[in-house]
Amino acid sequence: MKNPIHELFNTIVSAHHCIALTGAGVSTLSGIRDFRGKNGLYKDRDAEKIFDIDYFDEDPSFYYKAAGSFIYNIHEKEASVVHTTLGTLESKGFLKALITQNIDLLHQKGGSRRVIEIHGSPAIHYCRHCGDPSKGVMDFEGVAALVRAGDVPRCTHCGSVLKPGITFFGESLPAKALMDAESEARQADLMLVLGTSLTVYPAASIPQITLRAGGHIVIVNDMETPMDRYASLRFTDLGEVFEGLAELLRVS
């Protein structure tokens, strides 16, 4: 009987242009809750306010208090086997790009370098009021230290609360990241769709670009997705699949 993980491995290494699209599910193995899963963050009261731009403008301290545990304490989290195996696939030349909806920086921690963050990134926080993008900018570590101390980061020029470079509800996605993601999707003959429910647009439309261009998709997710019937291979357990891929990479 054909081993489906071996089949996936052979599909990846034989692809001409393999890319990945990841969602919050890839970080659950690192102890970070996903958003819409069975025990997702959005089942908590007021959780949808965390990334609401209007609510941030009203009370930015709510975001920094609520996001402290899963964004600003990321130093306590280790990259999972999914993150590290994707990093290894890239270093060996099998993975050309990684498109992520995630904002936890764990792909970078796992060794990935070609990361396209379509929902933005907390790597930089900036002032929305100074009008000069070079003013008030603070890096992630500086902000994280303040948040862990119970403070909110403020612009050193005008005193306004800094906003993370994450795309909040009510904001447009970063144009360059979205353009790069769509370009990679058009080039891909294989897209790995990992840990995402494919319900949030426009990210959910990215696999469709690959399919329309004649490529194939593989889905690994513990819940059904609207694209399951189009997948060449379908798995439910990210940990099992990527432990298997990691072992095949070690012996190959």
Same domain? For 1 and 63 the reply is: no
For residue 201, which of 230, 227, 165 has the smallest C-alpha distance? 227
Is residue 9 over pLDDT 70?
A: yes
Verify that 227 and 145 share a domain, yes or no: no
CATH number of the domain encompassing residue 203: 3.40.50.1220
User: Which domain, by its residues, includes 138?
Assistant: 38-76+122-166
| 47 and 88 assigned to the same domain | no
* Greatest C-alpha distance within the chain: 66
| pLDDT digits 0-9 by tens, 62-81 | 999 988 877 888 777 889 99
CA pair distance 158, 130, nearest whole angstrom: 7
| Same domain as 148, residue 28 | no
* 99 and 177 together in one domain: yes
Amino acid at site 157: H
**Average pLDDT of the chain to the nearest whole number:** 90
CA distance 252 to 250: 6
Tell me the average pLDDT across 180-207.
94
Residues 26 and 72 in one domain: no
Rounded mean pLDDT of 43-61?
A: 83
From the list 107, 91, 93, the residue with the least C-alpha distance to 15 is 93
Percent of the chain, pLDDT > 90? 69
Q: How many domains are contained in the chain?
A: 2
Query: In which element (H, E) is residue 56 found?
Result: helix 53-58
Considering the domain architecture, whether residues 157 and 247 belong to the same structural domain is answered as no
- Among 148, 166, 184, give the residue marking a domain's end: 166
Does the pLDDT value for residue 125 go beyond 90? yes
**In whole angstroms, how far apart are CA 63 and each of 1, 35, 141?**
51, 15, 17
pTM confidence score: 0.90
pLDDT at 96 over 90: yes
- Provide the pLDDT for residue 228: 96
Pairing state between β 120-126 and 95-100 = unpaired
Does residue 230 sit in the same domain as residue 156? no
In which residue are the tokens 């009008």 written?
A: 131
pLDDT band at 35 (very low <50, low <70, confident <90, very high): low
Give the residue ranges of DSSP H helices in 69-139.
81-91, 106-109
Residues catalogued as catalytic: 119
CB contact at 8 A, 99 and 19: yes
Instruction: Give tens-digit pLDDT for 203-249.
Output: 889 999 999 999 999 999 999 999 999 999 999 999 999 999 999 99
CATH of the domain at 48: 3.30.1600.10
pLDDT number for residue 230: 97
**Nearest-angstrom CA–CA distance, 53 and 50:** 9
What single DSSP character describes residue 200? S
Amino acid at 171: E
Reply yes or no on whether the pLDDT at 99 is more than 90. Answer: yes
Of 61-65, 66-70, 92-96, 99-103, least confident by mean pLDDT is 66-70
Q: Measured between alpha carbons, how far is 135 from 137 in angstroms, rounded to an integer?
A: 6
